[in-house]
Amino acid sequence: MRSLPMRNVVATFYRRRHAVLSKTFHHDNTVETILRTYLSLGGQKSNEVKRRQDNWFLPYFLYRNSYSTGFTSVHGERPSAEYAKLRKESLEIKFGHVLGYYRFGPFLALYRAAIISFHVLKLTIWQFFVQDIKKRSIKFRETLISLGPFYIKLGQALSTRPDILPTVYCQELAKLQDQIPPFPTYVAMKSIESQLGFPVSRLFADISPEPIAAASLGQVYKAHLHTGELVAVKVQRPGMSLSLTLDALLFNMIGGQLKRFAKARKDLLVAVNEMVRHMFDEIDYILEAQNAERFASLYGNDQKSPKNTAGNTVEFKKRNGIKVPKIYWNLTRKAVLTMEWIDGIKLTDEGGLKKVCLNRRELIDQGLYCSLRQLLEVGFFHADPHPGNLVATGDGSLAYFDFGMMGDIPRHYRVGLIQVLVHFVNRDSLGLANDFLSLGFIPEGVDIQLVSDALKASFGDGTRQSQDFQGIMNQLYDVMYEFNFSLPPDYALVIRAAGITRRHCKSFGS
């Protein structure tokens, strides 16, 4: 049985549903099929929503008054400059507090500044000799890798910001991975003892001698509690708070040069400051644990199955819903997170899925449907759903991991996103341009007809080549860059989540 929120959201679009679904869809891929299925749910009208159907296009003032932060990356110098100033002051205060805990803090700051300045100087000299944008994008990616975890994370975030960087740079930065070696286990054990206040032997019956997984911000160990439960222990890389704070401050020194080299838009610094906020969220494991429990309460053990356009329920074999690891709060602190260990099979492991009689295509469809619920119905979504953070369990459930990067979009943005998706699926360029305008993505004074024409050109001529989803998205990114779009932070995370999902669906052959 459908939930009330689902009926309310879908009923809002009931009046346009038949017009949408009656059009011929020439773009038969998994994402659009699932999207059409989702949009066709909820045949019954809600009287309450029906009274609101006249408010189809949302007023622009909602865009300005409902941001997740008081100072956001919007068009206009004053709010952007004020936001950047406040973020810089906040970082300086935080940096002062952090330095108090490190005896050689000032020397570390000078040493780090020298390293960053050296790499940026090389980049500055290099730009005078190379004008090819592809080669410049490769050099830009390589420089970010050389600068370490903060800049790798920054590059990953910028790869989903076509409103800031040219498409070539976005594509190149999408190749960035957490290519950081794990830190020594004895350091991790000392961190666990420092955070939890007891020797490791008193906390765990046993713990793996080496990390099971490692990334730029931390690494994971497998352990048993004295009560017998199998758990995953996530330990933060030492000095991350100091490192992120210092690098974020120093970015204000080199941001202008990086902006010129990458031909970035004017609000690069503001966007980076917002990304820094998300990075600090990622190293707060208490917040991550809270996110996990919230995600579990919203989507865990979700028994609902989608219906296709004919009204038939699409059942998934052995479908037990969404699983989220249980949090052990007595063993969780700001830099140590202890959670239930869940054995699973990666969706990339087709052979492993076949052994337990699981259909990979159905699991992928199930994941896509859950993603659409997150983005369109509830608004609280996982912003980093790559294959390492999503596995199938033996009973057919999907288990999510790593809740450090989450997004939360308010209802009126979700309604706007549904409009965007409907117009995108139907290749309605004028409707899409008006959606972007109503959401505030387009700066004031831009000719909407010009945007519409550019969007129409990006859709192609209806040939097979023009129907390629990624090709269309790349051209849409070019339009965003050309017309100086400005994405609010939450929508930037939406693009990140949708891009990761689509990219891996394509790699799965869906």
DSSP string covering 42-108: --SPPHHHHTTTT--SPPHHHHHHS-SSSS-S-SSHHHHHHHHHHHHHHHHHHHHHHHTT-TTHHHH
Catalytic site positions: 384
Name the strand (E) or helix (H) holding 223. strand 218-224
DSSP string covering 410-431: -HHHHHHHHHHHHHHHTT-HHH
Report how far residue 411's alpha carbon sits from residue 243's, in angstroms, rounded to the nearest whole number: 36
Report how far residue 296's alpha carbon sits from residue 441's, in angstroms, rounded to the nearest whole number: 32
Neighbour-count burial for 195-219, b at 16+ CB within 10 Å, e otherwise: bbeeebeebbeebeeebeebbbbbb
Q: Please, are residues 20 and 422 in contact by the beta-carbon 8 Å criterion?
A: yes
Name the strand (E) or helix (H) holding 113. helix 105-127
Report how far residue 170's alpha carbon sits from residue 327's, in angstroms, rounded to the nearest whole number: 35
Token pair belonging to 124: 């500055």
Report how far residue 96's alpha carbon sits from residue 39's, in angstroms, rounded to the nearest whole number: 51
Residue type, position 363, single letter: L
Q: Please, are residues 139 and 171 in contact by the beta-carbon 8 Å criterion?
A: no
Name the strand (E) or helix (H) holding 322. strand 322-323
| Count of CB atoms situated within 10 Å of the CB of 310 | 7
